[in-house]
């Protein structure tokens, strides 16, 4: 009985594999990873991507997406995902928020803070070549994987010791803007003797204060380097010792066995081994394409330090995407990612004539250290775009001057507004160049859409960059 069923299973496995190989040879699979810090618009981006590829898939709507312009797109639909352990992206809930029942007010879909996924089957007419010959209708299976940007930012920890991590993180707590909220944590840290036998409840108490500080920074600022990232959304790991650590001021290298310091090191190492590494092994190294959404305008609102930190984090990340001989990633994971897009989202919140400034600014954030970096085989691009346009352009004439305003409903307000947005800088400003009054870009609620059609800015360019070559 057991033997028969084993044999059957073995047979199934073999045919399964053969089918898979066959399947792969005709159809194609792309795993598109979508990330960004919370509030960067991941949920809106995925919702728009799916909506425009399914019910709004027309060449007029997506003129710069070749498969649409050339009218080779046949149809796309959501199909069952392969990864059964990963929560499904809640597309219908997102649509329900954007298109409420009559009388309802459209809202931005609730953000998800865990990994989730959705599979699209894109059926299209091949352009040329072998695929066109053998299979006039090809299908591209697109796995969209949405994961918290914080998980990406844990990446550098893979290369660090606890000492190195402390030397990077601890000084930040004494500087602006963190110093504004780090008091409680730093005060508690004073009570901790690193060399005395471990006091687990003290470590737990200080960890809690550190976590509160991180959660507050995530909520109130656009700071990018909040580590360990899983502390911001611990899920099933809440209360596990490997999340109960924090940076300290280390003066020397001796580690007393069984001491508080020894336990902090143990926990840091366990976090890297049991949380960060599995994410890269199970997910990251299987990604083919990566889009990183950046809410540059909100970061400008936050001030110079925050923009500088975002730039530094992005550049730190870029170093990790490097495929060079000594590439860290290559040694550790052999990842597949061959195209990365940094997208300044929400460009509808400024005037159309300033979109270029926004793209240039993001470019200057990303390319700051490009001379030192080698991106062998990886393409990197920056764009300003808007997954879901929440405003309309309005030209206003004032004292004979034509002003490029936008019209929309500011977030959390009742009234609609015609407003002249400030111009973003087109490159990273230094401290002296920063305007004294700072920047103040507004945020907007989504527009009512009686026709249930979403509007976008340059989403078709994004699609072409990320998927165009796979749909040729």
Query: CB-wise, 272 or 318, nearer to a second copy?
Result: 272
Please tell me the distance from the alpha carbon of residue 409 to that of residue 216, in angstroms, as a whole number: 27
Of residues 116-155, which lie at the interface with a second copy (CB under 8 A)?
116
Q: What is the DSSP string of 79-112?
A: E--S-TTSPBP-HHHHHHHHSPSTTPPP-PPPPP
Binding of residue 42 to a second copy (CB under 8 A): no
Of residues 182-211, which lie at the interface with a second copy (CB under 8 A)?
198, 200-201, 204
Query: CB-wise, 241 or 410, nearer to a second copy?
Result: 241
Query: CB-wise, 234 or 468, nearer to a second copy?
Result: 234
Least distance (Å) between residue 181 CB and a second copy: 25
Exactly one of 74, 78, 121, 192 binds a second copy (CB under 8 A); that residue is: 78
Please choose, out of 48-56, 85-93, 313-321, 339-347, the segment that lies near a second copy by the rule CB under 8 A.
85-93
What angle (nearest 5°) sits at the alpha carbon of residue 112, between those of residues 43 and 421?
A: 45
Token code pair at residue 385: 């775009």
Scanning the structure block, which residue is given the tokens 């929309």? 408
Half-sphere exposure of 373 (CA within 13 A, CB side): 21
Say how many residues make up the chain: 472
Token code pair at residue 277: 């590494």
Query: CB-wise, 18 or 204, nearer to a second copy?
Result: 204
Query: CB-wise, 207 or 310, nearer to a second copy?
Result: 207
Exactly one of 54, 56, 61, 88 binds a second copy (CB under 8 A); that residue is: 88
Is beta strand 137-146 parallel, antiparallel or unpaired with respect to 116-125?
Answer: antiparallel
Scanning the structure block, which residue is given the tokens 């989730």? 116
Per DSSP, helices labelled H in 248-303 are 260-271, 277-282, 296-302
Least distance (Å) between residue 134 CB and a second copy: 23
Exactly one of 239, 400, 402, 432 binds a second copy (CB under 8 A); that residue is: 239
Binding of residue 87 to a second copy (CB under 8 A): yes
Beta-bridge partner residues of 393? 406
Binding of residue 339 to a second copy (CB under 8 A): no
DSSP 35: E
First to last CA, the chain: 50
Query: CB-wise, 198 or 373, nearer to a second copy?
Result: 198
Binding of residue 51 to a second copy (CB under 8 A): no
Binding of residue 85 to a second copy (CB under 8 A): yes
Binding track over 251-290 against a second copy, x by CB under 8 A: ------------x--xx--x---x----------------
What angle (nearest 5°) sits at the alpha carbon of residue 224, between those of residues 373 and 210?
A: 130
Tell me the site size for a second copy, rule CB under 8 A.
29
Please choose, out of 233-241, 283-291, 372-380, 407-415, the segment that lies near a second copy by the rule CB under 8 A.
233-241
Binding of residue 90 to a second copy (CB under 8 A): yes
Binding of residue 219 to a second copy (CB under 8 A): no
Please tell me the distance from the alpha carbon of residue 403 to that of residue 275, in angstroms, as a whole number: 51
- Kindly list the strands in the beta sheet with 137-146, ordered across the sheet, starting from the edge strand earlier in the chain: 73-79, 116-125, 137-146, 28-36, 289-294, 339-344, 379-384
Other Cβ atoms within 10 Å of 392 Cβ, number: 13
Q: Rg (Cα) of the chain, in Å, rounded?
A: 24
Exactly one of 9, 71, 92, 370 binds a second copy (CB under 8 A); that residue is: 92
Exactly one of 3, 4, 60, 84 binds a second copy (CB under 8 A); that residue is: 84
Residues that bind a second copy (CB under 8 A): 78, 80-81, 84-88, 90, 92, 114, 116, 198, 200-201, 204, 235-242, 263, 266-267, 270, 274
């Amino acid at each position: 009985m057991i033997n028969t069923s084993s044999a059957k299973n073995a047979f199934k496995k073999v045919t399964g594999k053969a089918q898979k190989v066959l399947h792969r040879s005709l159809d194609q699979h792309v795993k598109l990873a979508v990330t960004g810090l919370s509030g960067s618009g991941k949920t809106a981006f995925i919702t728009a991507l799916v909506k425009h590829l399914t019910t709004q898939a027309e060449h007029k709507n997506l003129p710069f997406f070749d498969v649409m312009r050339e009218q080779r797109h046949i149809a796309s639909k959501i199909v069952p995902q392969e990864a059964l352990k990963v929560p499904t992206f809640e597309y219908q809930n997102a649509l329900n928020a954007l298109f409420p029942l009559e009388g309802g007010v459209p809202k931005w879909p609730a953000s998800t803070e865990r990994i989730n996924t959705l599979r699209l089957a894109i059926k299209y007419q091949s352009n040329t070549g072998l695929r066109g010959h053998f299979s006039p209708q090809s299908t591209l299976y697109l796995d969209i994987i949405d994961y918290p940007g914080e998980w990406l930012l844990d990446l550098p920890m893979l290369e660090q010791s606890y000492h190195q991590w402390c030397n990077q993180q601890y000084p930040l707590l004494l500087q602006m803007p963190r110093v504004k909220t780090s008091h409680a944590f730093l005060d508690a840290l004073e009570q901790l003797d690193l060399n005395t036998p471990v006091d687990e409840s003290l470590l737990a108490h200080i960890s809690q204060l550190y976590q509160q500080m991180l959660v507050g920074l995530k909520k109130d600022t656009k700071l990018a380097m909040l580590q360990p990232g899983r502390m911001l959304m611990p899920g099933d790991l809440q209360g596990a010792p490997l999340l109960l650590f924090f940076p300290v001021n280390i003066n020397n290298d001796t580690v007393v066995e069984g001491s508080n310091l020894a336990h902090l090191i143990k926990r840091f190492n366990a976090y890297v081994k049991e949380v960060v590494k599995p994410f890269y092994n199970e997910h990251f190294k299987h990604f083919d394409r990566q889009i990183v959404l950046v809410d540059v305008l909100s970061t400008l609102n936050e001030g110079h330090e925050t923009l500088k930190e975002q730039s530094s984090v992005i550049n730190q990340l870029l170093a990790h995407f490097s495929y060079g001989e000594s590439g860290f990633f290559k040694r550790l994971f052999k990842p597949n990612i061959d195209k990365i897009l940094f997208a300044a989202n929400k460009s509808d919140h400024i005037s159309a004539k300033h979109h270029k400034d926004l793209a240039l600014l993001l470019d200057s954030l990303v390319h700051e250290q490009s001379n030192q970096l080698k991106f062998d085989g990886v393409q990197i691009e920056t764009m300003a775009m808007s997954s879901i346009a929440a405003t309309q352009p309005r030209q206003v004439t004032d004292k004979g001057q034509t002003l490029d305003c936008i019209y929309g409903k500011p977030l959390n307000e009742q009234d609609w507004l015609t407003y002249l947005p400030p111009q973003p800088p087109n490159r990273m400003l230094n401290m002296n160049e920063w305007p004294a009054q700072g920047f103040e870009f507004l945020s907007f609620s989504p527009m009512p859409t009686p026709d249930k059609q979403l509007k976008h800015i340059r989403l078709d360019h994004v699609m072409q960059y990320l998927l165009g070559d796979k749909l040729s």
